[in-house]
Structure 1
Amino acid sequence: MTDRTPQPARSRRLFSRTSWPEARFLADVLRTETVGGGLLLLGAVVALAWANSPWGDAYTALTRWVPWPGGSALHLDLTLATWAADGLLAVFFFVVGLELKREFVAGELRDPRRAALPVVAALGGMAAPALIYVGVTLAAGGEGLRGWAIPTATDIAFALAVLAVIGSHLPQGLRAFLLTLAVVDDLFAITIIAVFYTDDFSLLPLLGALVPITVFGLLVQRRRTWWWALIPLAVTAWALVHASGVHATVAGVLLGFTVPVLRAAKGDRHGLAEHLEHRWRPVSAGFAVPVFAFFAAGVSLRDADLGAVVTDPIVIGIVAGLVLGKAIGVFGSAFLLARFTRAQLDEDITWSDLLGVALLAGIGFTVSLLIGELAFGAGSPADDNVKAAVLSGSVISALLATTVLLRRNAAYRRIAEAERVDTDRDGIPDVYQRPDA
């Protein structure tokens, strides 16, 4: 007898496979971010080793060195560590801006049905850690509440680097989910930084920043990619946003938003946003983020009271938020969305896979360290504890994700081998040419 049980439509499946062009783009991003994640980890390890070595004072002196001490009039009398956080991370957030616009115009987020899952998961994955952190700090007297946003961030480079090592054959739909989740997470993190961590706000420089940003936008909209014009405009916008009191990395996002995504003509291979992303992502992942990690992760434990650090409510709140909050928020949001919409997981994916990815979202390195500095001040005792907590929480999340995902790696390998079949040898795997793909 023929089975007439209604089957869910492809659009009703969570983590379904994306289109072939989107899959190729995703593969390029994963390769770059995986290398960048390895360099980020290297920078953090070198910083930790140096800060806790007999030459730790030299590391501290380097981070506090002010290259241009006469720049106070322009708010540019910054230490090397601050230049890394405010300056180099602007490159990272420029790439994030390009990535966000591309996702909303031509990527996963252009379709409300496909966008619902990563957006809801990102919101849940930020709300749960924040609530856990607030609960822990309130129970201990309320000190440290200003750091509520520290465990809400996911580090895309670090997470993808771990994923590449432990789950090289993860189904493409789940990889796309992690990337899109991290992009949406970055959007909310940028908003949090701009709204909640802006001190001494000055409106005039911010209004002034709109001038170079507008000129930059007009040039890129006309495909005028003259480096000698765009880079000075970007630097001017960055300096004015920094002088306004808003964190200067917001300038990178705004500049990224001005770049057009769609191709200007049919003969163009890529849109300008994708072209600039290919050009600047290696700079961001290979230089800007690892250097920031080097200056941000060097917490010294030589004279620290480890008992006091471990029992500090800030530390407990951050670790619990990253390890438990992220997993509960991401996994729980996706589960509830599936329950209430009656959607089903894609045929290649199980709920244990999603749990592994939810645990990976607890790797909150780069943006978490940045928010920690903004919340408590760079070099403060609380900031040192924040660094220790972020590092600990991220490592624990990575180890738990490894435990979960390694068990599925053999199944991933079989799926990947089936997807590589190209019987007609046209360069496109057969799985992307099925009627339901």
Structure 2
Amino acid sequence: MPDNNSQQPRNTLFARGSWSETARISDILRKETVGGALLLVATVIALVWANSPWSDSYSDLGALHVGTDALGVHLDLSLATWAADGLLAIFFFVVGLELKREFVAGDLRDPARAALPIAAAVGGMIVPAVIFVAFTAHVGDGAMKGWAIPTATDIAFAVAVLAVISTHLPAALRTFLLTLAVVDDLLAISVIAFFYSEDLKPSALLIALIPLALFAFCVQRRIRSWWILIPLAVLTWVFVHESGIHATVAGVVLGFTVPVLRSQAAGGPDAGPGLAEHFEHRIRPISAGVAIPIFAFFAAGVTIGGLGGLTDALTDPIALGIVCGLVVGKTVGIFGTTRLLSSVSRASLDASVKWIDVAGISMLAGIGFTVSLLIGDLAYGLGSERDEHVKIGVLVGSLLAALLASMVLRARNRHYRAIREQEERDDDHDGIPDIYQ
């Protein structure tokens, strides 16, 4: 098969993208790797503190209330709630920016290329949900409310693991993982909005449209002044929070309003980067380095109670459903959907990719953390016994998924390292690998 991407048949899965898009994805993955390391540190600190003699102080810190209800809106929230509702809105703002950029200016603006990660994300959501329901259907008492917990992929953790175990995978696979996780996050936030929002207040939602419309007007006019945009974004968040819809939805909607291209009338994607890229460069470090680790610190601290406590938690059908949903459901859903799409469309894998690579990436997508913990809190109540079991299920399932993916991808990494070394010897060192020329 020719190396030139323009000559590749359209019915090829995981075909190599453009060099500019590959370079952009690589830059994002490097930033997410750092964020994943910070996320891991925050999680370890929370677990150690929650299982130490000072565990009560950890609980008291998360329950500490900050804010006021005096302004007519309910903003007297605990620190743990501020982290879940407020800081995660920053994370989902970046998700909105990334998703819009992928489908407006990225390689995935081609519907044929976009179909694969979208279909895989849907499959990777349906199968884990079905597995969770199968484990909890007989329990009753609202146990099935957590059906969406094992459906989300944590991109920061997944990319951090990928960076450690396999640095030479084809760029198309890394792009697939990133885009899959972004679409996965969009599906998860849609689930939160439709299934985990309660006591809706239409009046507050209508009021939220006012600052949202002003924010959209400003960014469409390419206004970058923080003293204008941040207050409008905060007001949008406040009234979405007040409406009963989970406040993180505001982050995604705000991200969707930001233009991707510098000038829509000046030549499409070739017109240059717009505000989306500018905001992403500014806000992604805050999201990955501050917002997500702080949320993890407050969300991941669960008192395990030794081996006996761990065993008791993992005999709960809810925890078992989460573990199997993440480890088995994600792998079967993503890999199975990809194989099905290949059969239906009669598409073949790119010559540089093997099905075992796709299986490894599918296993890696079983690392669920940030959004899974958030949905667990919403489904069963923050600090409840079931919520504690959710945390153990998410942690154990994510760890197993990471270990299984490591076994597969480390073996494949040796194969691709040899290929990369040969390419580097043949490279003309002009800054763009020869395979993209």
TM-score using structure 1 length: 0.94
Report the CA distance shift for 1:123/1:84 in structure 2 as closer, same or farther (over 3 A).
same
Q: Secondary structure at the match of 1:174?
A: helix
- The equivalent residue for 2:4 is none
- The equivalent residue for 1:206 is 205
Shift of 1:253: 0.6
User: Which runs of 5 or more residues in structure 2 are unaligned?
Assistant: 1-6
- The equivalent residue for 1:186 is 185
Is 1:256 paired with 2:255? yes
Instruction: Name whichever of 29-38 and 295-304 sits farther off.
Output: 295-304
Q: Secondary structure at the match of 1:11?
A: coil
1:82-97 to 2 correspondences below 5 Å:
82-97=81-96
1:19-98 to 2 correspondences below 5 Å:
19-68=18-67, 70=69, 73-98=72-97
Q: Secondary structure at the match of 1:407?
A: helix
The separation in 1 between residues aligned to 2:103 and 2:236, in whole angstroms, is: 24
User: Which runs of 5 or more residues in structure 1 are unaligned?
Assistant: 1-7
The separation in 2 between residues aligned to 1:105 and 1:230, in whole angstroms, is: 23
The separation in 1 between residues aligned to 2:226 and 2:8, in whole angstroms, is: 47
C-alpha contact (below 8 Å) 1:150/1:371 kept by paired residues: yes
- The equivalent residue for 1:284 is 287
The separation in 2 between residues aligned to 1:422 and 1:11, in whole angstroms, is: 28
- The equivalent residue for 1:370 is 374
C-alpha contact (below 8 Å) 1:241/1:248 kept by paired residues: yes
C-alpha contact (below 8 Å) 2:67/2:75 kept by paired residues: yes
* CA distances 1:334-384 after superposition (whole Å, capped 9, x unpaired): 011111211111111111111110001100100000000011111111111
Question: In structure 2, which of residues 349, 352, 374 is the aligned counterpart of residue 348 of structure 1?
Answer: 352
Q: Secondary structure at the match of 2:66?
A: coil
1:296 is aligned with what amino acid?
A: A
- In the alignment of these two chains, the number of paired residues is 426
2:384 is aligned with what amino acid?
A: S
The separation in 1 between residues aligned to 2:426 and 2:234, in whole angstroms, is: 47
Shift of 1:70: 4.8
Shift of 1:301: 1.7
Instruction: Name whichever of 104-113 and 301-310 sits farther off.
Output: 301-310
The separation in 2 between residues aligned to 1:401 and 1:423, in whole angstroms, is: 31
Report the CA distance shift for 1:346/1:142 in structure 2 as closer, same or farther (over 3 A).
farther
Query: What is the percentage of aligned positions where both structures have the same residue?
Result: 60
C-alpha contact (below 8 Å) 1:422/1:428 kept by paired residues: no
The separation in 2 between residues aligned to 1:422 and 1:275, in whole angstroms, is: 35
2:377 is aligned with what amino acid?
A: E
The separation in 1 between residues aligned to 2:387 and 2:425, in whole angstroms, is: 51
Report the CA distance shift for 1:422/1:407 in structure 2 as closer, same or farther (over 3 A).
closer
Question: In structure 1, which of residues 317, 324, 327 is the aligned counterpart of residue 328 of structure 2?
Answer: 324
**Aligned-residue CA RMSD (Å):** 1.8
* CA distances 1:247-295 after superposition (whole Å, capped 9, x unpaired): 0011111110011011236897522111111111111011100110000
Report the CA distance shift for 1:374/1:419 in structure 2 as closer, same or farther (over 3 A).
farther
TM-score using structure 2 length: 0.94
Question: In structure 1, which of residues 333, 336, 351 is the aligned counterpart of residue 337 of structure 2?
Answer: 333
C-alpha contact (below 8 Å) 1:193/1:247 kept by paired residues: yes
Instruction: Name whichever of 408-417 and 254-263 sits farther off.
Output: 408-417
Shift of 1:409: 1.0
Instruction: Name whichever of 294-303 and 68-77 sits farther off.
Output: 68-77
1:133-282 to 2 correspondences below 5 Å:
133-141=132-140, 143-264=142-263, 270-282=273-285
The separation in 2 between residues aligned to 1:167 and 1:419, in whole angstroms, is: 17
C-alpha contact (below 8 Å) 2:68/2:74 kept by paired residues: no
C-alpha contact (below 8 Å) 1:422/1:429 kept by paired residues: no
Is 1:390 paired with 2:394? yes
The separation in 2 between residues aligned to 1:85 and 1:425, in whole angstroms, is: 46
- The equivalent residue for 1:302 is 305
The separation in 2 between residues aligned to 1:298 and 1:330, in whole angstroms, is: 30
Is 1:360 paired with 2:364? yes
Shift of 1:73: 3.8
The separation in 2 between residues aligned to 1:46 and 1:366, in whole angstroms, is: 16
